[in-house]
Amino acid sequence: MKRKIGERFSAWRDEGAKKPLVLLGARQTGKTTSVLAFGRENYADVAHVDFVKRPQLKAAFDGDIEPNRIVANLEALMRRDIVPGRTLLFFDEAQECDRALASLKYFCQDMPALDVVAAGSLLGVHVARRESFPVGYVNMCALHPMSFEEFCWALGEGRAFDLARASMADFSACAAHERLCELYREYLLVGGMPEAVLVHAQGGSLERVRRVQSDIRTAYVADMTKYATGADSVKIVASWESMPAQLAKESGSTKFMWKHVASGANAERYGTAVDWLVAAGLVNKCTQVSAGVSPLKSFENSASFKLYVGDTGLLSCAYDAIPQDFDGADHRSARFRGGMAENYVMQQLVACGAKPYYWGQQSTYEVEFVVSLRGRITPIEVKSGRRVKSTSAARFAEKYGCARILRLSMKNFGIDGAVCSVPLYAACLLAKA
């Protein structure tokens, strides 16, 4: 399946004095598949060093970690040639071999002609905790679950999404609006984990998709117990399992609240658990800002934040949601639909490289997302249906002199004064809005 990360790989390949590339991302987002596809298309050979499938290859890094010695060891152990300019050297599941990660510094300094990529499902956690990581000697990028656009490509609906892209240029009505709304509702159930998308694209039932998603969630919990201490893992699992409740609270607020994690939970006791989930790429964090002024980071209130599950399909699986849950017929499920829509928008914003914050508080005024787009502070409202009446974003725009408001809903593209209506399915295009 086509992934946008290929463009990032190609840009890295074409750099002059390039550094090794480190690919971050949660388990099962497609890191291995993407790197191997890129390698096969752009190199004569790929030396795939998988430290989980072939742990014996760790022996290549015993002793000193001088690149010529490591390459000679790998050539002998793998019975193959590794040739700069022809071979892509790929360290997979690199979190399993600290010395392989440490060696990237010396590949950068002493063997820049050999292209090296390292990837792993928990490298974000590793980077956060290991002082020996070669900061400054590597380029880093992240692979997220498939965006809605990539989902459309996988389903053969790329032409329909191209119409949305064209409409985004001037906010004119999209002819494929109803079809893309149907695909959006499918995406809420399936999400962007490649294996789940593949099952769906091949005509698999929702039950089969749910089995894939459930297995991924189980693997995530297994990682929490494997890569964290016993005491920390209990807190990490509790924080992870609280996510469905966090996003469908009776108050209507999606702000993260410690009381929904465990009795007596607070930032001091459980803060590192949330940090672990963020570093592992399992959740996305959206922090409150006190003002809509650039740079937003300088007005960040780190004590107040929202967490969103990294993949909306995994969140849908945790709810055991079915298609009828999204039809809007039952007003009692409005909180659930609202939380799902917010989670989806956050996922798309992160996938397109935006850094979202939020403003206000639910009891008074709240703008779901505030982002800097092309140097302009822009409020983004999120509505799960077609009813879009709201004053929060208008209040924000007036207070901070914003030229426009982006309102995401199930309505077609359009402009009404300063309000630009954007269908939810086009959220992954906002970074260029």
CA distance linking residue 119 with residue 112, whole number of Å: 18
Residue 35 burial (C-beta neighbours within 10 Å; 0-12, 13-18, 19+): buried
What is the pLDDT, as a whole number, of residue 223?
93
What is the pLDDT, as a whole number, of residue 131?
52
Total domains in the fold of the chain:
2
328 and 360 in a common domain: yes
* pTM of the full structure: 0.94
Q: How many Cβ atoms from other residues are within 10 Å of residue 386's Cβ?
A: 10
283 and 176 in a common domain: yes
What is the pLDDT, as a whole number, of residue 74?
98
21 and 100 in a common domain: yes
Q: What is the pLDDT of residues 261-282, one digit of tens each?
A: 999 999 999 999 999 999 999 9
The domain of 102 spans 5-142
137 and 235 in a common domain: no
Q: What percent of the chain has pLDDT over 70?
A: 97
User: Radius of gyration over alpha carbons of the chain, in Å?
Assistant: 22
Q: What is the pLDDT of residues 360-397, one digit of tens each?
A: 976 678 999 999 998 999 999 999 887 777 789 999 99
Tokens read off for 388: 């879009």
What is the pLDDT, as a whole number, of residue 183?
98
301 and 156 in a common domain: yes
What is the pLDDT, as a whole number, of residue 383?
93
The answer to whether residue 130 scores a pLDDT higher than 60 is: no
43 and 135 in a common domain: yes
Last residue of a domain, one of 142, 158, 184: 142
Q: Contact at 8 Å (CB) between 236 and 273?
A: yes
What is the pLDDT, as a whole number, of residue 221?
96
Of 136 and 310, which is predicted with more confidence? 310
The answer to whether residue 129 scores a pLDDT higher than 60 is: no
Last residue of a domain, one of 78, 112, 142: 142
Looking up tokens 């789940």, which residue turns up? 196
Lowest mean pLDDT among 93-107, 176-190, 381-395: 381-395
Last residue of a domain, one of 142, 159, 183: 142
Q: What percent of the chain has pLDDT over 90?
A: 86
Query: Which amino acid is residue 101, in one-letter code?
Result: L
Pairing of strands 414-416, 419-423: antiparallel
What is the pLDDT, as a whole number, of residue 128?
58
134 and 55 in a common domain: yes
Q: How many Cβ atoms from other residues are within 10 Å of residue 375's Cβ?
A: 6
197 and 313 in a common domain: yes
Average pLDDT over residues 16-24: 91
204 and 328 in a common domain: yes
- Print burial letters for 230-267: b (CB count within 10 Å at least 16), e (below 16): eebbebbbebbebbbebbbeeeebbbbebebbbeebee
159 and 89 in a common domain: no
At residue 135 the predicted structure's pLDDT band, cuts being 50, 70 and 90, is confident
86 and 154 in a common domain: no
Q: Tell me, what CATH number does 56's domain have? A: 3.40.50.300
Return mean pLDDT, the chain: 94
89 and 117 in a common domain: yes
At residue 99 the predicted structure's pLDDT band, cuts being 50, 70 and 90, is very high
Average pLDDT over residues 398-415: 96
Q: Which residues contact 222 (CB under 8 A, 6 or more apart)?
A: none
